[in-house]
Structures are given as C-alpha cells and as structure tokens.
C-alpha cells in the first residue's frame, strides 16, 4: 500500500493578522513553527517511511516541510519546490484584512471570493508591485502562467497537471510522499482525490499543521483518508 501525506503550512504571520496572503511570501509565526514540529511528530508516529517531499516556492510551506522533516529525521530525502503548489492567488485582496474587506464588500461577497469554485477576486494590475511578474521566483515562467488573480478552479488547473505528470508517477514507483503546501492548493488536490463536487468543495477547510494521510489501492484510488490529529480534524467526505 502506498501513502501520501498532505500538510497545510503552520500559522503564518498574515494568518495571525487575518490578512489575505495568496502568493505573498510570508513566514511562519512561533505557533506556526510549533504546528510544523507537531506535524513532523505525528507523521513519524505513523511508522510509515517517506521517500520524497514536494512543496511550493513560498517560505511558509518550505519552512513547514523543513521543520517536519527534521522531526522525522528525514531531512535528507529528495525535496522538490514547485510554483504549481503555491497558494491560490488572491488578486487585489492580497494584504487586505479579511474583516475589513467583509465590511467594505459584504460578508456574502467575500465568502464567494474565498470559497466558491470558479469566481476569482478582483485581479491585480500588472503594474502593481504585488503582482508576481515582479517576483524573481517567476522570472523564467511563461507570462501566461503568472496570474493576477485565481479562483479555486484555476488553482486546480495548475495543480492537477503537476499531480498527474510529476507526483503521481513517483507514487506509482511505490514511494511514500509528503506534500507541504497551502489551504487552497491542497483543497484543489483533495477535490480531485476525494471526488468532491464543485458545490461541496465550498465546505472543505483544511486546518494548518494537521497532516492528512491518504492510502491508495492498486488502481490509485483513495481507500482511506484521515487527519493525524483527530482533535483538530475538519470534516471530510465519506469514501
């Protein structure tokens, strides 16, 4: 049986400040580091030997992976960073306080921007210094792939090909893998793996720093899925 663990990065500084983060590069808080350490301990306690790891190009996810691997005594395993695993880009909302944005635009509108499947927030102008075209991480990336905003659907459109072309072939070599990423990139992947509908995905929330363990059968269907910290688990669809 092959295993996959997905872990959302620990609390970031902008999580703490209740701000939209998206592709903005924000580091972990002390609580976030503690959550990453706990994630590593929980993964180690499964007794599963993990062979490789994947993460985004954003510090909060990379650091979460490093801390978790240190707890697992697996810092030496291959680690791949990929922009395709980045958080969803929140467009012009990035950096704004969520509560203040809800007061300005209405709670219902902000809920749609945050949780709907295919409705993105307002886009960033390309001349805005917050636009990722100005970030050296994406300097060699085709401009067509550098977003000014994203919905969960367009996030899935970049996550799924990376899963199909890069991660799944490694799983098929009977390697157990870890993905340390973000709430929405992991929601997109969970939508695919758990066959969650466009409507039901609005209700899926992935907690920070609580590893989600997937087991697969020989046909690469998910046979089991559970959070490793049951006390902090969110609802999951039945398989």
Query: Taking the domains of the chain in order of start, what are their residue ranges?
Result: 2-232
Q: What pLDDT is recorded for position 86?
A: 98
**Would the CA dihedral through 23, 19, 151, 202 be positive or negative?**
positive
pLDDT given at position 202: 84
Q: What is the pLDDT of residue 236?
A: 85
Question: How much is the pLDDT for 32?
Answer: 97
Residue 18 CA to its chain's centroid (Å): 17
Query: How remote is the C-alpha of 101 from its chain's centroid?
Result: 23
**Is 87 noted as a catalytic residue in this protein?**
yes
* Residue 237, pLDDT score: 80
215: which 2 tokens? 């087991």
Angle formed at CA 190 by CA 189 and CA 196, multiple of 5 degrees = 115
Give me the catalytic one of 87, 89, 131, 182.
87
> Which residues of the chain carry a pLDDT beneath 70?
none
CATH assignment of 2-232, given 3.40.630.30, 3.40.50.1970, 3.40.50.720, 3.40.50.1240? 3.40.50.1240
pLDDT at 115: 83
Tokens 């005594």 locate to 73
Catalytic residue among 9, 89, 131, 182: 9
Tell me the CB-side half-sphere exposure of residue 127, using CA atoms within 13 A.
0
Tell me the torsion sign for CA atoms 192, 194, 198, 202.
negative
- Residue owning tokens 């970049």: 158
d(C-alpha 64, C-alpha 10), whole Å: 6
Residue 25 and residue 138 in contact, taking contact as beta carbons nearer than 8 Å = no
| Whether residue 182 lies in the annotated active site | no
pLDDT per residue as tens digits for the range 177-217: 999 999 999 999 999 999 999 989 888 889 999 999 999 99
């Amino acid at each position: 049986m092959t295993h996959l663990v997905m872990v959302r990065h620990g609390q970031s500084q902008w999580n703490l400040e209740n701000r939209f983060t998206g592709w903005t590069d924000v580091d972990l808080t002390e609580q976030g580091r503690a959550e990453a350490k706990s994630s590593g301990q929980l993964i180690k306690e499964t007794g599963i030997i993990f062979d490789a790891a994947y993460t985004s190009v954003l510090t909060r996810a990379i650091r979460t992976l490093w801390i978790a691997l240190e707890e697992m005594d697996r810092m030496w395993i291959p680690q791949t960073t990929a922009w395709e695993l980045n958080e969803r880009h929140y467009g012009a909302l990035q950096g704004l306080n969520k509560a203040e944005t809800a007061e300005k635009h209405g709670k219902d509108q902000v809920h749609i921007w945050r949780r709907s499947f295919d409705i993105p927030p307002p886009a960033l102008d390309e001349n805005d210094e917050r636009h990722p075209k100005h970030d050296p991480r994406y300097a060699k990336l085709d401009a067509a792939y550098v977003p000014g905003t994203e919905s969960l659907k367009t996030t899935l459109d970049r996550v799924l090909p990376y899963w199909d072309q890069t991660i799944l072939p490694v799983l098929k070599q009977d390697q157990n893998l870890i993905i340390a990423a973000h709430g929405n990139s992991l929601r997109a992947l969970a939508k695919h793996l758990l066959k969650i509908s466009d409507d039901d995905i609005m209700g899926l929330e992935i907690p920070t720093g609580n590893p989600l363990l997937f087991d697969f059968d020989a046909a690469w269907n998910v046979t089991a899925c559970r959070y490793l910290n049951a006390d902090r688990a969110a609802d999951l669809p039945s398989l």
